[in-house]
Structure 1
């Protein structure tokens, strides 16, 4: 079960519309304090900009939602920015669109399209992640079993993610496995290696996995 969707890392994307520059900042955050800190840094960097329009969503259930037009006509910036984030089902994320006015007025409809497109285009470059509960498992094998394990990982359709590999006198693969698939993965690997492996369940963790 997916707890929520968010973005993996901060990014900046720029578009130009009728001589106005729109710089979009997408940043993963955990709290309103994070939002305020990031916004202050953006305002400081772009102190000459005309507007610093904002939207953010917080909470596993996306219940905390805020936005600001920052001087643009009411409803033409913050709302469309927030709607784009909501359409992608994202949370724990903030968007700030910095506008440098180019001298051509866009009108209310033009502004709504501009701010919406600014965030949409930025999201196309973002790595979307899903936060899910997984069982962390260490599978320890001999070196001569590596190829067989690698082949299994390339072929299986079960929800397994290889998080880390440790090489000592044996090879230990650290896996994140969807909770409902743990027993099936255990049985498949036990059969594949005729029981000649070490399987250690480390406990349940929330893990961020890339969606796209």
Structure 2
């Protein structure tokens, strides 16, 4: 393996399973923290809608999310709290824990005492931190996916490489014209592509 391949960052951290109802209290206000593993904005929307129906009598549903491993998408939402007093403190904790593909929501029940902007920043930050403290953070690999196309007569050749290199098969269609969809760690991708590209009558393309 070449040095530059071994230096390619192909792992990221995320949370394994949801964390729910982590309670933090400040001057009669109750802050309930939630964290969910997500990979799309559709999932974010679904979780938010579910929380709003479960906690319909709450005052605010503030949140932040980050999605992606190489191209990052994020959003922070104050949901009616003063600008940058809720969403950004929550997002700051996502950055502090160095995780991605995650949504953190803090649901606030107002207790009758105003906290001021400084108090809100502190409360939302602490609530997000306590929630992520409870999360099981795991490391995952960044994988590249490819489609290999070949005639049935070349099946053994292809399958031997897949077995030797311990390549994950995502999907396969075995007929006269065969297609196999594979996934491999980013840092191994160039080597795998080079091997298949060098073979006669076998095509590989990135998905």
Report the TM-score range of the alignment, normalised by the length of the smaller protein. 0.5 to 0.7
Which residue number in structure 1 is paired with residue 13 of structure 2? Answer: 5
Aligned mates of 2:51, 2:27 — CA distance in 1? 23
Which residue number in structure 1 is paired with residue 167 of structure 2? Answer: 203
Matches within 5 A, 1:129-144: 129-132=138-141
**Cα distance, 1:86 vs. partner?**
1.1
Q: Which runs of 4+ in 1 moved over 6 A?
A: none
The farther-off stretch of 53-62 and 112-121 is 53-62
Report the secondary structure of 2:56's partner residue: coil
Residue pair 2:12, 2:142 contacting (<8 A) in 1 also = no
Residue pair 1:2, 1:132 contacting (<8 A) in 2 also = yes
Matches within 5 A, 1:149-164: none
**Cα distance, 1:202 vs. partner?**
3.8
**Cα distance, 1:79 vs. partner?**
0.6
Decide whether aligned partners of structure 1 residues 107 and 52 sit closer, same or farther in structure 2, where only a CA change above 3 A counts.
Answer: same
Matches within 5 A, 1:104-119: 104-119=113-128
Instruction: In structure 1, list runs of 5 or more residues that go unmatched.
Output: 135-198, 208-212
Give the TM-score normalised by structure 2: 0.64
Which residue number in structure 2 is paired with residue 101 of structure 1? Answer: 110
TM-align CA RMSD: 2.0
Give the TM-score normalised by structure 1: 0.63
Q: How many residues align?
A: 143
**Cα distance, 1:201 vs. partner?**
6.0
Aligned mates of 1:112, 1:89 — CA distance in 2? 20
Report the secondary structure of 1:91's partner residue: coil
Aligned mates of 1:40, 1:133 — CA distance in 2? 29
Residue pair 1:22, 1:100 contacting (<8 A) in 2 also = yes
Aligned mates of 1:16, 1:70 — CA distance in 2? 19
Instruction: In structure 2, list runs of 5 or more residues that go unmatched.
Output: 1-8, 144-162, 169-182, 186-207
